[in-house]
Amino acid sequence: MPRTSSPVRAHCRALWIAAALLPGAAFAAAPPAAAAPAVLAWEAGDTPAALEGWVKQRLQRADAAVARLLAVKGARSVDNTLAVYDEAYDALYDAQAQSSVLYGVGATKELRDKAQALTQSASAALTALNLNPEVYRALAAVPAPADAGVRHYLEHTLLEYRLAGVDKDAATRARIKALQDKITERGLAFERAVHDDVRSISVDQSQLGGLPQDFLDSHKPDASGKVKITTDPPDAYPALKFADNEDLRHRLWLVDHQVAYPANTDNLRGLLEARHELAHVLGFATWADFAMADQMIGSPAKLKEFLKQVDTATREPGAREDAALLAFVQQKNPAIQKIPAADARYWQEQYRRAKFNFDSQSVRPYFPYPAVERGVLDTAGRLFHVQIKPVAGLKTWHPSVTTYEVFDGSRKLGTIYLDMHPREGKDKWFSTSALNQGVEGRQLPRGALVCNFPGGIAADPGLMQYGDVVVFLHEFGHLMHHIIGGQHRFAGQGAFNIEGDFVEAPSQMLEEFFHDYGVLSTFARHYQTQQVLPRELYERMTRADTYPRSSDQLRQLMYATASLNYHSADPAQLNFDAVWKEAFERYNSTAYNPGDHFWASFTHLNGYSSNYYTYVLDKVIALDFFAQFDPHKLIGLPTGMRYRHTVLAPGATRPAGALVHDFLGRDMSLEAYRKWLLAEFEPSATASSSAR
Ligand SMILES: [Zn+2]
């Protein structure tokens, strides 16, 4: 398993869990044993004590497995060593994964606090396992297994042990553990500061021009005629995109880009310092060198080469987009020489409307949340040849969570949990979590989506931006990867154990299906009239969606570059604002705002650390994958099944590069990506129907 991150939330907003020494405090007493042991944390009860008892059981199970593994006399084998190691890993994975989920979604502050502490404890135990020299020696003594997937798992595990520093002396290993401890603790504190810091502005009702009606309906003025707009995505995103009032946009953008600032200055400093020192202890020049050593990309030098290729592909079309936007804005206001960063989304939306005769609000009535949910599940089901059926009666962490089972014919593949709307105290982002891994014949994989889409409250139809629908597909791509790729002999062969810089490929691949009318017309219906999304409106939307493709990619390069730079130097010398500003100005034509401290709420710095590039690399791979499908019949031809078998089903039984090569029949290429960028202002190549 990855030594630098847990695969627990290998996705959009992965929690970078490394580890810690177990806190000295003893666990509270476990609750009285129930008739059947709870498989999931929330089945044990919804109190902090119940969670603690449940986690303790997993840690004890792992300890027992390690003791059994070390007690083996005679020849080492897969059965008496690797299988027992996997049991320990599986128990700790569950403890860490589910604590981590409850830390984001737990119903009470007390529960979230406890879940935060327990995430750290479980991480500590995982680190201890992966630094245990006796376990390492036992695994190293297992003869090469005949099964290629098992052999890969064993070899990869041994590699991770070596990279983790298992061969260092006892004092160095203790230092490594202490640093891992600090990394986990600072990382959690960094994320927590973001979760807990919802800012808002108060505006006059008269300033709400341009905002959609349902936004106005859910933002009624108080007694003094003021309306509150928060930095939560369902509030801030539409406001920054649609509000005609410049003052509103500027104030909201500024508070949004100051979330967790200055609180996270110390958290980030502590996090980066611990990472930097750990990299040194392990023999790497920087954290970035360390974090890329076991990834597809291999090293920061190779990454820079790759980023340069993407930069070359993106720069010129991006500059054309930016020039066109500026010319458009200057027609309205000749005094503007540079568009303020706070206005970028607004002007892009205005330009898109004018250029493509498309108002993104016009499609929102066709995307009410409940219908979109059914549509995404149905599309994934048809594409991957699985059946996704609602299941009642499962205990969850909150009454609003819905549950489904995934089947392949009569064979059940796993269970999924959807927690899709914002609520007080809940994680603000969009992520996929593996709740547990699959182990053939013993347990099926379970996964959860934690999102913040509109809807979920009475009287709100939950009209989604079309970009929300794309995010939904993205997250569902992760979920399908986890479920379909979690059908192996060992937990450690599950999909999220694959190289971290491959995990965003299956998710971004599924995003592309949004652009197909055959797919969309199965569920995009007007929430009042039930009319299907008109083809003509779809075509304008698809054309408009090609803008601003290149500047969006440049923004991804900005995040990738900033993430790399935060992890490529001695953190004591880093000026966080300066690093951010440099990346911003390199990849944006809008004006940098000195009040911009976005890095303080950029939780990917915890989750992905230096490896944000994953999104760009995987976009290139995802588009290459998608280009293998027949644009005239995306669903229903053998390609979907071939993709499922070649890319998703292997989970982590093979290196990611081999999966890519197998599906494409060659190494990946930037060709499909370049074509996609240059599809600018043209209808999508996939603007065709696919048979249901
Ligand atoms: Zn993702």
In whole angstroms, give the CA distance from residue 312 to residue 484.
36
Q: Is the dihedral of CA 354, 356, 357, 363 positive or negative?
A: negative
In whole angstroms, give the CA distance from residue 475 to residue 44.
27
- How many A from CA of 181 to the centre of ligand 1? 26
φ/ψ region of 158 (left if φ > 0, alpha if ψ in -120 to 50, else beta) reads: alpha
Residues 514/546, Cβ–Cβ less than 8 Å? no
- How many A from CA of 645 to the centre of ligand 1? 21
- How many A from CA of 204 to the centre of ligand 1? 37
- How many A from CA of 496 to the centre of ligand 1? 12
- Averages of pLDDT over runs of 10 residues in the chain (692 residues) are 36 30 30 60 95 98 98 98 98 97 95 95 93 96 98 96 93 94 94 94 96 92 96 92 97 98 98 98 97 96 97 94 96 96 96 89 95 97 96 96 97 98 88 96 97 91 94 97 98 97 96 94 97 95 91 96 97 96 97 97 95 97 97 91 98 97 97 89 38 32
- How many A from CA of 405 to the centre of ligand 1? 22
E strand or H helix that includes residue 316: helix 300-332
The DSSP string of 323-339 is HHHHHHHHHH-TT-SS-
Q: Is the dihedral of CA 532, 537, 543, 544 positive or negative?
A: negative
- How many A from CA of 306 to the centre of ligand 1? 20
Tokens of 89: 């890993």
- How many A from CA of 589 to the centre of ligand 1? 27
- How many A from CA of 572 to the centre of ligand 1? 31
- How many A from CA of 471 to the centre of ligand 1? 8
Residue 458: Cβ within 10 Å count: 4
Strand partners for 418: 402, 449
Tokens of 44: 């044990």
In whole angstroms, give the CA distance from residue 127 to residue 5.
10
Q: Which of 93, 82, 126, 84 is nearest to 437 (CA)?
A: 93
Residues 442/473, Cβ–Cβ less than 8 Å? no
What pTM does this model have?
Answer: 0.88
Residue 436: Cβ within 10 Å count: 23
- How many A from CA of 476 to the centre of ligand 1? 9
Q: Which of 508, 505, 486 is nearest to 495 (CA)?
A: 486
Enumerate residues 6+ apart whose C-beta is below 8 A from 76. 138, 139, 141, 142, 143
CA distances from 680 to 329, 544, 550, 617, 674 (A): 20, 9, 8, 20, 11
User: Per-residue b/e over 131-153, b at no fewer than 16 CB within 10 Å?
Assistant: bbeebbebbeebeebeeebbebb
In whole angstroms, give the CA distance from residue 506 to residue 529.
34
- How many A from CA of 474 to the centre of ligand 1? 6
CA distances from 320 to 544, 598, 677 (A): 16, 26, 12
R_g of the chain computed on alpha carbons: 25
Q: What is the per-residue pLDDT for 429?
A: 82
Cα dihedral value 465, 466, 470, 476, nearest 10: 70
- How many A from CA of 67 to the centre of ligand 1? 37
Q: What is the per-residue pLDDT for 15?
A: 27
Q: What is the per-residue pLDDT for 36?
A: 59
Tokens of 102: 């409850």
User: Per-residue b/e over 632-654, b at no fewer than 16 CB within 10 Å?
Assistant: eebbeeebbeebbebbbbbbbbb
Enumerate residues 6+ apart whose C-beta is below 8 A from 666. none
- How many A from CA of 547 to the centre of ligand 1? 21
In whole angstroms, give the CA distance from residue 521 to residue 211.
26
Residue 32: Cβ within 10 Å count: 6
In whole angstroms, give the CA distance from residue 415 to residue 411.
12
- How many A from CA of 506 to the centre of ligand 1? 9
In whole angstroms, give the CA distance from residue 176 to residue 156.
20
Using DSSP, state whether 230 is helix, strand or coil: strand
Q: Which of 120, 242, 92 is nearest to 181 (CA)?
A: 120
Q: What is the per-residue pLDDT for 18?
A: 28
Residues 171/290, Cβ–Cβ less than 8 Å? no
SS3 content of the chain, % helix, strand, coil (to 5): 55, 5, 35
- How many A from CA of 13 to the centre of ligand 1? 7
Environment class of residue 456 by beta-carbon count within 10 Å: exposed (0-12), middle (13-18) or buried (19+)? middle
- How many A from CA of 9 to the centre of ligand 1? 9
- How many A from CA of 431 to the centre of ligand 1? 7
- How many A from CA of 477 to the centre of ligand 1? 8
- How many A from CA of 451 to the centre of ligand 1? 12
User: Per-residue b/e over 659-685, b at no fewer than 16 CB within 10 Å?
Assistant: bbeebbeeebebebbbebbebbeebbe
- How many A from CA of 12 to the centre of ligand 1? 4
Enumerate residues 6+ apart whose C-beta is below 8 A from 548. 321, 325, 348
Q: Which of 322, 240, 307, 360 is nearest to 680 (CA)?
A: 322
In whole angstroms, give the CA distance from residue 355 to residue 371.
30
Q: What is the per-residue pLDDT for 27?
A: 31
Tokens of 494: 């599950």
- How many A from CA of 199 to the centre of ligand 1? 26
- How many A from CA of 488 to the centre of ligand 1? 23
- How many A from CA of 190 to the centre of ligand 1? 20
Q: Which of 414, 484, 506 is nearest to 653 (CA)?
A: 484
- How many A from CA of 690 to the centre of ligand 1? 25
Q: What is the per-residue pLDDT for 361?
A: 84
